[in-house]
Structure 1
Amino acid sequence: MAYDELRSLIAELQGNLERRQLDAAVPLLSKAKRTLLQLNTLIPSTSTPQPLLSLAREVLELGAITSIRQQDAAAFTRYYQQLQPFYDAERHLQSTLGSSAQIDLTTSQRSKITGLYLLLLLSMGNNTDFHTVLEGLVVEASLKGYNVEDDPYIKYPVELDRSLMEGSYDKVWRETKSERVPSEDFGLFSSILVGTIRSEIADCSEKAYPSLPISNAKNLLFLDSEGAVVEFAQARGWLLKDGRIYFPQQEQLQADQAQKDISSASATIIENAIGYARELETIV
């Protein structure tokens, strides 16, 4: 009975996600997870029946996709972590039982969810965890005799990482806008990544230039219009005047340096004056 209920809930969930009906998907997801809890299957064990293992993994994968479409990166991360024991259990069963293992891997979204997690780590600037996860995938792929980048879901974040390491931000921008994006679910984390890059460029610009023409800033920051540049500049507290952006931080640095120069010059004058007075006292 529980198996049939889970299959029915999974089918409903998939239908709601296909129709973008997230409000209807959320209560179904909660109900499916309660069912897994009652069956003691939210965490797999050696006693978990193989068919139930696949159904539980499907529920959590659908939860991960739902969280992405709700733009909830924290919830997606929790689902990713919950799924790892299920993926490990299925890999173990495959390796030990081979073709006799009754595991339905045709429904598995492991590749997609792992690629999305890599993209999330990249967008957060978490290079350490990104490369830790990737190294594990490379080892697993080599043991099975294939290249990890044969998988388009994994290849996409890996190529973005290479471009970032090269400083080719324009290439990253093009990749996030191209048809090579593996699926629309990658769009959310891609936009977060571009936002992170934009902030880094803005930080560097504040330190490198006293001002920039708005037209140049549009291309530099990968923004679609000069109006978008104005909004971005105002949000960062930049000054706009006569078609240019002026960086307050740079102006403050220049003012601080000028004050420092004045203070240094004043100290030198005072020191010279004291020395001169001492010389007069000696003469007298």
Structure 2
Amino acid sequence: MSALQNALKDLEKFKAAYTSNDLNRAETILGELKLKLIQLTSLPPICEKTLSSAQELSFGRDCYEHAAVYSVRTKDEATMERCFTQVKAFYADTRSLLPKSDQEPILIGLNLLRLLVQNRIAEFHTELELIPVDDHANPGIQYAIQLDQWLMEGAYNKVLQATKAVPSDLHALLLQDVAATVRDEIASCCEKAYEKLRIKDAHKMLLMESEVAVKGYAIEHAWTIQEEYIMFSHEESASLAKEASSLSLINNTLVYAKELERIV
């Protein structure tokens, strides 16, 4: 068995390990794969032409792509930073040596989302400018672009809805903490804007599983529940408005409140 064939078997083991969420085993195999990649002279930075150059380059790209996927599953920022930097560098170095990978726009979209989730907005827009316009239509890239737009607008309800309609399970992993953060931001805006809010409206606005969950959330935030309403406490400032009579009004007010914050 050739060294490349042996390495391909290790790659399959790596994929199986991280897919089954055996991340410790996956990390060990990835370390072994990287040692084997160093021994392949067809790969950057040497790029030596050999009889197996095409296979080795393809294998190398597969390794870096799967490493990026693995890094998302670890949910470790340092690991993601390293793996996405490596796969992007490999794409750039082999642009003239390999046909474009079907996985490239998918991973680039995940990288955009990663930067957005980490609140690295300037880097997000820098990366976006480097992406060919034709790739912007890719669902993963478009998803990140749209999410950024809604965040800038303060349209938190749309962001929250987007976390429940993701392009893939990897997007869902990146957005796990975002949903909770955005829900808290919506709740904060509601608390500042209204004296009371119908539980059924809060249920729709916060996109929670049930009205029972809304009541539990209200208790956690020390809000008072009176019959069908959540009563907000306004110890530090007066209420900006009365009860929200419709979901549409709530949405418009949240956007307005966020814009005021940014102006101030």
Same fold per TM (> 0.5)? yes
Which protein is richer in helix relative to its size? 1
Matches within 5 A, 1:145-224: 147-178=134-165, 181-224=166-209
Distance 1:174 1:208, change over 3 A: closer
1:183 partner amino acid: S
For 1:84-120, what per-residue CA distance to the aligned partner results, in whole angstroms no more than 9, with x for missing partners?
22111012xx1xxxxxx3x3655x6222111111122
The 2-side partners of 1:228 and 1:124 are apart by: 27
**Closer/same/farther in 2, CA of residues 47 and 31 from structure 1, 3 Å limit:** same
2:45 equivalent to 1:45? yes
| C-alpha distance in 2 between matches for 1:225 and 1:16 | 36
Per the alignment, residue 112 of structure 2 pairs with 118
Q: Do the aligned residues in 1 keep the contact of 2:106 with 2:138 (CA within 8 Å)?
A: no
Kept in 1, the 8 Å contact 2:105–2:135? The answer is no
- Tell me if the contact between 2:116 and 2:124 (Cα under 8 Å) persists in the aligned partners: yes
2:226 corresponding residue in structure 1 = 242
Correspondence list, 1:46-125, <5 A: 46-47=46-47, 50-51=53-54, 52-91=56-95, 94=96, 101=97, 103=98, 105-106=100-101, 109-125=103-119
Q: Distance in 1 between matches of 2:105 and 2:36?
A: 26
Give aligned-pair identity as a percent: 32
- Name the counterpart of 1:27: 28
Cα distance between partner residues in 1 of 2:207 and 2:48: 50
Q: Output the CA distance in 2 between the equivalents of 1:202 and 1:129.
A: 29
CA RMSD of aligned residues (A): 3.1
Partner Cα separation in structure 2 for residue 36 and residue 231 of structure 1:
52
Alpha-carbon displacement from aligned partner over 1:9-38 (angstroms, at most 9, x marks no partner): 11222344455554543332232123335x
Aligned residues between the structures: 231
Asked if the contact 1:123/1:190 (under 8 Å) is kept, the reply is yes
If asked which structure has higher relative contact order (CA below 8 Å, sep 6+), I would say 2
| Cα shift readout 1:108-145 (whole Å, capped 9, x = no counterpart) | 622211111112223333322221111111xx34xxxx
Stretches of structure 2 lacking an aligned partner (at least 5 in a row): 239-264
Larger CA Rg, structure 1 vs 2: 1
